[in-house]
Amino acid sequence: MNTAVLGLQYGDEGKGKLVDILAEKHDVIVRFHGGNNAGHTIYVNNKKTVFHILPSGVLHKNKLNVIANGVVLDPKVLLEEIESLGFTPNLKISSKCHVIMPYHVKLDQLREQKFHIGTTQRGIGPAYEDKASRKGILVEDLLNPSVLRQKIELALTEKNVLFETLFSTFGMSVDEVYNLYQAYGWSLKPYITDTTKLLQDAVKENKSILFEGSQGTLLDVDHGMYPYVTSSNTTAANIFTGTGLSFKTPVDVVGVFKVYNTRVGEGPFSGCIEQTNPNLAGTIREIGKEYGATTGRPRKIGWIDLDELKYAINLNGVTQLALMKTDIFNGFEEFCAVFDGFTLKFKGWNSIDDKNFKDFVQFLERNLNVPVKFVSFGPNRDQIKYE
């Protein structure tokens, strides 16, 4: 069976950990949207690995990992991530991915000084903008010198005007960008292929595919809290446009969420306790190590919000739930949850075997109408219970 692992909150729910675990039971692991704005953390025997662009199945060397067409790819970041792995990953990259260019990153950084969305400043928005306005550079263009040069010339004709006049800074040189990106293309060549056909063939051969979501439902460009969102669809429907598989492909959807809520970046955040209870927010942040895996920014802390979870479950067609970071409330006397617009109090627990914990899971299942199949109680691969 195929499975998708999707975040139901504002990102950083623990998707990476779950993908690493579920990779064992699947043949192919696929990233289908977003880019290196993601930071997916995996602990194996207390050794920490953070993936930004490589799929989180890469540590399973016998599994095929795919970066599909819906991803925006920064070749520099990918090559550095491959280098730091210490082994050659079992990886294929779509020739149709759009490339994050240095002018996308620069534009994201300059705009952030004015618009304050709180982006990761990795060039994600500007790269998707160029994709939609048909000016984007595809991974396959990196292997075609004349097309690559022509496209960079066209892009910089426009971007350099913005840099020099609107932002009063230096433009970029076509030659420098071209030389660098042509070289990246050749380094990535062994990995580049038609992943649409590869994945369609895998489905025909009854191989099982694990789709790795990035960000979270409330950051979806259509269904999230616009404009404080990322620039891709983070929800289940994008699995199909992001890979080229038919929407009729059967997929179990695992919705991942934490026992509390976090958010990095700006924008509305329900249940936020940063102002009402800054000490408690600080305590949860420290115990939960809630600092961005990509930017290191402190994550804002809020109570879990069942109304938002219901919204996310409906949008994604979630069939199973994964409740993460339950250990953070070990020893807590009480904590809260937002439900039907009210803030309800619940008793904390000492372990997942406590009655209080079991009661809370029952409350979740009754009100969300989806079974909690995974309960995570620590960052390590083996700190998970599943039915």
The residues that touch ligand GDP, with contacts defined as CB under 6 A, are 7, 11-17, 39-41, 43, 289, 293, 324-325, 327-328, 376-379
CB of 173 to ligand GDP, least distance (A): 36
Residue 372 φ then ψ, to 5°? -85, 105
**Residue 74 and residue 108 in contact, taking contact as beta carbons nearer than 8 Å:** no
Total interface residues for ligand IMO by CB under 6 A = 25
The pair of structure tokens assigned to 314 is 């409906």
- Window 12-51: residues binding ligand IMO (CB under 6 A): 12, 37-40
Distance separating the N- and C-terminal Cα atoms of the chain: 16
Q: Does position 69 bind ligand IMO by CB under 6 A?
A: no
Q: Scan residues 267-296 and list those touching ligand IMO (CB under 6 A).
A: 293
Q: 102 or 378, CB closer to ligand GDP?
A: 378
Secondary structure (H, E, C), 329-373: HECCCEEEEEECCEEEEEECECCCCCHHHHHHHHHHHHHHCCCEE
Task: Let me know: does 251 contact 237? Beta carbons within 8 Å.
Answer: no
Q: Which two tokens stand for residue 10?
A: 């504002």
116 binds, among ligand GDP, ligand IMO, Mg ion, none (CB under 5 to 8 A by kind): none
Tell me the catalytic residues.
12, 40
Short-list 249, 242, 259, CA closest to 306: 259
d(CA 119, CA 127): 13
Q: Does 56 bind ligand IMO (CB under 6 A)?
A: no
Our CB check for ligand GDP shows the closer of 189 and 385 to be: 385
DSSP state of 101: P
Cβ closer to ligand IMO: 35 or 244? 35
120 makes contact, choosing from ligand IMO, ligand GDP, Mg ion, none, with CB < 5 to 8 Å by partner type, with ligand IMO
94 contact choice in ligand GDP, Mg ion, ligand IMO, none (CB below 5 to 8 Å, kind-dependent): none
Whether residue 302 contacts residue 273, with contact meaning beta carbons closer than 8 Å, is answered with yes
190: number of Cβ within 10 Å: 11
Helices 355-368 and 306-316 pack at an angle, to 10 degrees, of 50
Q: Is 3 in the site for ligand IMO (CB under 6 A)?
A: no
**Among ligand GDP, Mg ion, ligand IMO, none, what does residue 43 contact (CB within 5–8 Å per kind)?**
ligand GDP
Q: Compute the C-alpha angle 264/268/272, nearest 5°.
A: 75
The residues in 109-128 that bind ligand IMO, with binding defined as CB under 6 A, are 117-120, 122, 124-125
Q: Which does 17 bind (CB under 5 to 8 A by kind): Mg ion, ligand IMO, ligand GDP, none?
A: ligand GDP
- Looking at residue 75, what DSSP letter applies? H
What residues make contact with Mg ion under the rule CB under 5 A? 12, 39, 293
What residues make contact with ligand IMO under the rule CB under 6 A? 7, 10-12, 37-40, 117-120, 122, 124-125, 214-216, 219, 228, 230-231, 264-265, 293
